[in-house]
Amino acid sequence: MVFLSLPMCIHLSLNVFDFNGLFVRLYCDPFVQFVDKNGQEALTISARSIVNLLVLFYILRYVNQAIHTIWRYVRYMAFMHRHKRDSIRANEINLSLANSLISVLIWFAYDVIVVVATWKMPVGSLTLVAGGLSAGIGIAVKDIINNFIYGIQLMGGRLRVGDWIECDGVRGKVASINYQCVQMETLDGTEMSFLNATLFGKNFTNLTRNNSYEFTKIIAGVAYGTDIKKVREVLTEAMQQVRTKDQYGREIVEPKYGIKVVVGDMADSSVNIIVKQYVLVPERIAYVDRSKEVIYEVLNAAGITIPFPQCDVHLIKDDTL
């Protein structure tokens, strides 16, 4: 509306002073016009054509967003109906590839059909130029093409926005996926980008691809001579208070495996007790922090000693010196 109202206001203003011909020359007549050897128009650009292209650009941008929203709604409703649920997690359905294909088709149609038809560009010349540049461009953008292909494979199902991944020892949540890179929000709040080809070459780990649970063990040391059965009973009972649910109603601790308390290493100053469980990846950090606090409090309350590293030094007197 803004782009269309501007020339309309100019036209009405000039029409008051009977300058309609001036408006036609400035707005309607092309300021760039080429013809081929047969006298046919090869390229025609006018102010009106530019305004029309800008209007179509914003219309298609709205259409693009509307189609994305409709597609997401249809997928969500079908998924909830199939699984008989009334809610869905943000990263439970892969929409990246479909959204990208929709955008590519819409903007390809805009660039190739609308722009070429509006400015009357010669298709034959464009084909000739594209053919001549294809070899050189292919070599120059080899890496871009590789990232493009890998991006399609990632968006096809191997990775979804909202997944938790680990690559090069860095763990984080996938914020976005495009045809060149994957952006990840790390645990410390920073954002990192991995090229799609690099991500494939380093064999990243998708922590939430299967069932979103990750094996987690928490180690606590008790003094030598402590009754292990008592420790197991105390910890097993105490850890039940951290078995809560997340915002989607999922058990934070995988219910099939539960929580197991076993004896680990015989360390220098303590017997290491290991608390094993499978925990939801997004809730893992908060769960471990809370569990350590619970373990410390319950062991103190039960009178079970938690030793600290210490070393006994014995001095031997040599009477021969």
Tell me: the pLDDT tens digits for 149-187?
777 777 777 788 888 888 888 888 888 887 778 888 888
| Residue 136 pLDDT > 60 | no
- Tens-digit pLDDT profile for residues 261-286: 999 888 888 899 999 999 998 889 89
pLDDT value at position 129?
47
Residue 181 contacts residue 134 (beta carbons within 8 Å): no
pLDDT value at position 234?
92
pLDDT value at position 289?
92
Q: Decide: pTM greater than 0.85.
A: no
Q: Provide the pairing of β-strand 32-35 with 205-206.
A: unpaired
pLDDT value at position 128?
47
- The H-assigned helical ranges of the chain are 2-16, 20-23, 47-83, 96-109, 116-119, 123-140, 142-153, 196-201, 228-238, 284-301
- Tens-digit pLDDT profile for residues 1-37: 777 777 777 777 777 676 767 767 777 777 777 666 6
**All domains in the chain, ordered by first residue:** 31-140 (no CATH), 151-206 (2.30.30.60), 213-301 (3.30.70.100)
Question: Residues of the chain with pLDDT > 70: what percent?
Answer: 81
pLDDT value at position 91?
66
- Tens-digit pLDDT profile for residues 74-85: 888 888 888 788
- At 142, the pLDDT band (50, 70, 90 cuts) reads low
- Pick from 57-61, 82-86, 253-257: least confident: 82-86
Beta-carbon contacts of residue 262 (< 8 Å; ≥ 6 apart): 273, 274, 276
Cα–Cα distance measured from residue 315 to residue 151, given in angstroms and rounded to the nearest whole number: 67
